[in-house]
Structure 1
Amino acid sequence: MSDVMNVKMYYGGYGSVKEGFFDYRGGLVKEDMILDPDCVTWSIFDEFCEANGMSGLVEKVWYKLRHEEIGLAKIIYEDKDSQIRQMCMEVMTATREVDIYIHQMGCGEHDKSDGEEQVEAEAEAKGVEDNGEDPVEEVPNNDPRFDILFEEVHSGEGTETECVGVGAGNGNVNGDEVVVGDPVDEVEFERQCGDDDHPSPALDTDDEWEAFNEEERSVSISSYVKDQPPYLWMKQTFQSGEAFKDQLLRYVLKTNYDVKLCRWGNTKLAAICVNEKCKWSIYCSFERPINKWMVKRYHDCHHHNKSSRARMLKQGVIARLFRDEARRRPTISWTDIKDEIMMRYNLSVSKWICQKARRMALDLVIETQGVQFSKLWDYEGELHRSQVGMHTEIVTIPQADGKQRFDKFYVSFEVLRKSWKRCRRPIIGLDGAFLKWELKGEILAAVGRDADNRIFPIAWAIVRVEDNDSWGWFVDKLKQDLGLGLGNGFTIISDKQKGLINAVSDHLPNAEHRHCARHIFANWRKAYGEYEYESFFWAIAFSGNEGYCI
């Protein structure tokens, strides 16, 4: 078979057969993979999962022709080689398009808890979907207690901001004086508690990630001091209704009292306790004079035990909570999410919701990066509009289907080039680093030294892979922008990456090419790790050669 087949690969989820029909849940999908049927073996599935950050050996594989229903997928399990050959023959004699579903060891091992399977089936039948735009659930106004609450509010519209019930002021249940929060503090509190993204540049090593996480945790202790009870109080203000819902969710997570939320028109929100005998309630609406949402009625009183469930904790909320974790650790499993929620909030969440949330969190990460890539040309245009003398270049690889595949992106600011030429020391450092996100790739950078002996950025580029072609292209762009000629009078410092060495030799043959002492020492200490050898190494490194001035 000399032709190829188009493969859509599903991975990271789990497959199962119920009542004779196949079903696949969770995971990710990679489309438009081209495979030679003569080269398809079982090891391809293991290597594919490993390359895409999914740990665990492949246990089972299902396949179906693209036009077939998923429930009719066939399994490859026992006689793998012959079944794979059979699959390839079926695909090549039909449409040459196949969907493959990979099930790894450890996926779907845990049985559903009592009643969970029924809930999952009902949710699937109803087409439950959450796009994350409004993750906090609003229930229909079918509880008579909502009618009573709204009627009370309507009858007392002239005095809405008066306290109703017990403990309405700052959660005070003793009838003491009500203290209204400082508006400036509330704005600062909202800023601190925002769900901002982590900075987009990735760090280089796992150790640096650990240091980053430790620093974040230490900052959190001091920054979120105000995130203490009471979480809701009378006359508390919010910038929007969404901000109120977020704070209500925080109250549920922190106190473990389950509540349900209902919207009344476009400018009014109310919540009551799930326990029908509980009098807890809160009402928040838009206050036009101050142009903010304000809590106008709050009855803070629970006379029952706390709950281990939270109906507001839906898959959209969980996806948002674990979005950054999914970005840092794409292999996160639904069991990790379930255990983490129990540890953080002492709340139990169903397996199905955790699986859905995991998929949504990963989709958010991938979608965000995909959207950013599509705006790359807009970003380049804005750079040229706002920066005179800007030098950029985007290189793409045309695909058979007419689409463009990203290859390289070069960036050089004129102000950096001019500053380096005017105050330069004739030294340029070249190095590359991996990008640890879903889109992968590497960043290549050229840096110099300023008058204070500090690192001075010159230019950088994003490439798919660090090889002869990418380094040759980058060094050539650098040579043209900086006017380096053949490299006379310049010193290049780098590691011993083969592509980089070849690029400097080809484009800057007259430059002095020296290797970074730290990189050399990292390899050297594997054989000579004793402390006294380290001091000898650096003594040699700092010694100048006779007849050579730095």
Structure 2
Amino acid sequence: MLPARPKYAEFNEAIDMKNPHFKIGMKFRDFKQFKEAVKNYGVKNRYVMNFRPNTKTRCKAYCSKGCPFYLWASPMVRDGATVQIKSGVLKHECGKEHKNRHASAKWIAKTYMEQFRADPSWKLAGIIQAVKTNQQVEITRLTAYRAKNIALREIDGDEETQMTKLYDYRLELLKTHPGSTIKFRRNQGVFEAMYVCLAPLRNGFLAGCRRIICVDGCFLKGLYGGQLLTAVGIDANNLIYPVAWSVVDRENRENWVWFLQLLA
């Protein structure tokens, strides 16, 4: 009988990525997962790691300070897609780092995504302190600022991409709310304004609200800015009842007339 093939540990991204521990023979899904694990290891243990050579067929991760630590990874013979640590020295003989390039803006955004989701207004000083406390790594205000932008873009979506889908959004609203009024205004193909009055809200106002409409405008924060014009009513419980709203480039007489004419 042939000897049984040795069983090698498999890297579990859901469990091991926060605090990676490496073994000779450990298997990874691909080189991308291997390098991400090495970077996380560097941040967690305060080492700066380099990769060379770094190709599609082999990758060596080693300590930037020149100590003996290294990991040599390449695809498995039987399964070309799976990457395995073939050899290495797993102990460092150098000191810790307080500045670590692996703690990049992208890494911080991914690591602290839930904190950004819970508090989108998280201050830069708080981000810097969290990284310093949890990872013992110092980052700049610029890195914290970029990390916050990356996280908020992931949470809120890319505004440029969303703007290209406005017509799809209009069709979806008309499909799910038949009888609604949704208008666009463009100037030589450039978006200027959008008006939305959903049929259920309009019918509900006419059926059960006082015949009073209040209008107001406010600034929009984001890549494109602009103004939000709104028309609201008062329901039977003296609560605000939305009737219609519009996104315009600026608050002026022309845009208010356009909004009120559609509202009427």
Q: Normalised by the size of structure 1, how large is the TM-score?
A: 0.33
Q: How do residues 92-103 of structure 1 correspond to structure 2 at under 5 angstroms?
A: none
Task: Summarize the alignment of residues 134-283 of structure 1 with structure 2, pairs less than 5 Å apart.
Answer: 158-161=6-9, 186=14, 231-233=19-21, 242=32, 245-246=35-36, 248-261=38-51, 265=56, 271-279=61-69, 281=71
- Separation (CA, whole Å) in 2 of partners of 1:460 and 1:245: 48
What amino acid does structure 1 have at the position aligned with 2:21? W
Equivalent residue, structure 2, for 1:459:
244
Q: 1:436 aligns with which of 203, 221, 243?
A: 221
Distance 2:105 2:91 in 1: 28
Unaligned runs of 5+ in 1: 1-156, 164-180, 191-229, 330-335, 399-403, 480-550
CA shift at 1:430, angstroms? Answer: 1.9
Alignment of 1:122-521 (within 5 A): 158-161=6-9, 186=14, 231-233=19-21, 242=32, 245-246=35-36, 248-261=38-51, 265=56, 271-279=61-69, 281=71, 301-312=91-102, 344=132, 346-347=137-138, 368-398=158-188, 404-479=189-264
Letter in 2 for 1:476: Q
Distance 1:274 1:298 in 2: 15
Q: Answer whether contact 1:281 1:298 (CA < 8 A) is retained.
A: yes
Alpha-carbon shift at residue 442 of structure 1 (Å): 0.7
Distance 1:292 1:387 in 2: 49
Distance 1:285 1:453, change over 3 A: farther
Partner AA of 1:159 in structure 2: K
Kept in 1, the 8 Å contact 2:67–2:92? The answer is: no
Going from structure 1 to structure 2, the CA distance change for 1:314 and 1:381 (only over 3 Å counts) comes to same
Q: CA deviation at 1:238?
A: 8.7
Kept in 2: contact 1:234–1:298 (CA 8 A): no
Larger Rg, first or second structure (1 or 2):
1
Q: Structure 2: 5+ residue runs without aligned partners?
A: none
Answer whether contact 2:27 2:85 (CA < 8 A) is retained.
yes
Contact 2:10 2:27 in 1 (8 A): no
Q: Is the 8 A contact 2:219 2:228 kept in 1?
A: yes
Q: Summarize the Cα distance change of 1:241–1:279 in structure 2 as closer, same or farther, 3 Å threshold.
A: closer
Q: CA deviation at 1:377?
A: 2.9
CA contact (8 A) 1:233 1:295 kept: no
Contact 1:259–1:274 (8 Å) recurs in 2:
yes
CA-to-aligned-CA distance 1:292-348 (integer Å, 9 cap, x gap): 999999975333201345454678768999xx9xxx99xxxxxx99xx59x846457
One-letter code aligned to 2:197: S
Distance, in Å, in 2 between the alignment partners of 1:388 and 1:238 is 51
1:310 & 1:296 partners in 2: Cα distance?
A: 26
How many Å apart are 1:386 and its aligned residue? 4.2
Indicate the SS of the match to 1:379.
helix
1:427 is paired with a residue whose SS is coil
1:418 partner letter: N
* Residue type at the aligned position of 2:61: A
**Distance across 1 between alignment mates of 2:82 and 2:203:** 49
Residue identity opposite 1:389 in structure 2:
G
- 1:277 to 1:292, Cα distance in 2 relative to 1, 3 A: closer
* TM-aligned CA distance change 1:315 to 1:453, over 3 Å: closer
Whether the aligned pair in 1 keeps the contact of 2:8 and 2:27 (CA below 8 Å) is no
TM superposition shift of 1:450: 3.8
Cα displacement (A) at 1:406: 2.5
Aligned residues: 233
Tell me if the contact between 2:234 and 2:240 (Cα under 8 Å) persists in the aligned partners.
yes
Shift of residue 394 of structure 1? 0.8
Residue type of the alignment partner of 2:94: H
Q: Superposition RMSD on alpha carbons, in Å?
A: 5.1
